[in-house]
Chains A and B, each alone.
Chain A
Amino acid sequence: MSPETNVSSDVFELPTIAGKELWRATYMALALFALVGWAAMMFQSDLDRLLGGQRDFVILAAAALILIATNMSLIRRASRRIELRASQVQVAASLAVRPAEQAALMVEHHLRLDEAMGVQLKGVVGDTENAAMMLMLEVRKLSDAANTLMSYLDNSNMNARDMEHEIGESVAFIVRIDNFVRELPDRIQQDMAFMREAGKEIDELGKYVDVIKEVSKKTDFLARNVSIEAASVGEFGAGFVEVADEICKLSEQSTNAAAMIEQSLTVARNIRQNGHKFNFLQEYAQQICDADKVVESIRSLQESHENMRQYYQTLFSVVTEHNTCLAAGLGEILGHIQFQDVVRQRIERMENAVAKRNVLFQAFAQGLDTPDADLLELAEQMRVVLDEYLALESRHAPAANNASEQDAGLPQFELF
């Protein structure tokens, strides 16, 4: 039985208690009066002897006194019992009111606690949002730096390719020169062979010059003899003298031409001898050797550059890969920071539900003091708040734990 029921029964019992006590007092008085009457009848002779004519008065007085005393005693007793019951009723009544007050007090403290926690939650949301924003800004700087580095690496790679292309062209040019220098001895050999052949031809021409000289000498001798013989025959030989003179002139011209040819051949021989004396091949050999060394150095340089390029290309690839991973990681961090917003929204939904619950709590606490309050309706409203909150939560991700069967397993991304 509830305290409220006890209080009600005690309150309704009070008039009954009072009535019972009065009836009891009356019965007691009547009983005493009857007892006094019976005693007066039993001891009538004795009373007559003792009291004489005052007997009836004394008996009535005694009966009245007894009656009054008894009634007073009974009334006092009844009064005490009524007071006791009344105090019990008061205590019971006070006990019946206290739960409502306590509930109201409890709700009040609960609301204050909620309010304080709400302030802290807002602070937490604000702090996490600020922290997330700061993280975001720092990550953004890192991301920008990663992008700048990527751009720098791309440019460097392109520059390296350009440089490699230029070096390749230069090396190709130098290789062409090298090939020319390498072919040069053969060409010189060919030229010298040609010169040797020319020298032989010159030597052969020298023989012809000697022949020409001999022919010229003999022609001159023959012409002179003809001229002497012609002069000895007089006028008949005059024509032969003129022919002999012409032949002498021709012989002289032949001799002069042979001398000039001989002189030219001497100059040519001297040139050939000087050419042999300078020994071009030896000098060229040294230069070719030097050229070979240069080309070898350049080839070595090209190989070194190629090695260096490959090394840097590998380095670029590694750095680029790491940088790409870094940029991707930073991108994922940016994504994860979005969880702060998800958390914020969940806290906001909780706050809204808690606010609705608190209104119902207040109404419930007030209803405890109100006889006609429908507390069951408030409980029903509380259930609705709960259902609405759970339904709202089930609509949001990450909702793997509380999603409805229909919504569970839906893809994170869907194209319509």
Chain B
Amino acid sequence: MAKTILVVDDSALIRTSVTQHLKNGGFTVETADDGLNALNMLKAGLKPDLMITDINMPNMNGIELIQSTRALPEFRFMPILVMTTESQQTMRDEAKQLGATGWVVKPVGGELLMSIIKKVLPGA
């Protein structure tokens, strides 16, 4: 059964691009345009195998989303990948401290994204 990935980004362009990459890789993809919508989707019963989130988003940013997601018991161990244009070490450290699994700087090509996913989701 195909694994499900939740993509959270306020840019429709990024959502479309990443979705295409992931579908080409055989994944089922769900999308949200900000952190709050993503969190609501998780609370509504969506059980993704991996979440990829941007940092700078309206309503709820990526850092807050990671924090809120980790507070939900069923998502304590779900891999969370941050995909952003931010590259600062302090931001990376903050995301790491809150429970992010990895950090990738946009833009991301298909090959790189797939290699990252394989590392984060072994057997995918």
Contact = CB atoms under 8 A, between A and B. Distances in A.
Interface of A: 129, 132-133, 136-137, 139-140, 143, 147, 327-328, 330-332, 334-342, 344-345, 394-397, 399, 403-404, 406-407, 410, 412-416
Contacts of A412: 104-105, 108, 112
Given A335-B112, A336-B109, A410 B21 contact: no
B101 A340 contact: no
A395 to B, nearest CB: 4
A140 B110 contact: no
Interface in B99-116: 100-113, 116
B88 interface: yes
A345 B10 CA distance: 11
Given A415-B120, A416-B96, A132 B13 contact: yes
Given A341-B13, A396-B85, A334 B110 contact: yes
A155 to B, nearest CB: 16
Contacts of A407: 87-89
B31 to A, nearest CB: 14
Given A140-B16, A328-B111, A416 B86 contact: no
B72 interface: no
18 contacts: A136-B13, A143-B20, A330-B110, A335-B17, A335-B21, A335-B109, A335-B112, A336-B107, A336-B109, A341-B13, A342-B106, A344-B11, A396-B86, A397-B87, A412-B112, A413-B116, A415-B102, A415-B119
Contact of A338 (B17, B86, B103, B119): B17
Nearest to A334: B17
**Of A137, A344, A397, A413, most B-chain CB atoms within 10 Å:** A413
A413 B109 CA distance: 12
Given A331-B109, A331-B111, A334-B20, A341 B89 contact: no
Contact of A342 (B20, B85, B109): B85
Contacts of B106: 338, 341-342, 397
B115 to A, nearest CB: 8
Nearest to A133: B13
Interface in B51-68: 56
Given A143-B20, A410-B89, A412-B105, A340 B13 contact: yes
A132 B120 CA distance: 29
Contacts of A410: 87, 89, 92, 105
B40 interface: no
Contacts of A328: 110-111
A332 B24 CA distance: 13
A237 to B, nearest CB: 116
A338 B107 CA distance: 5
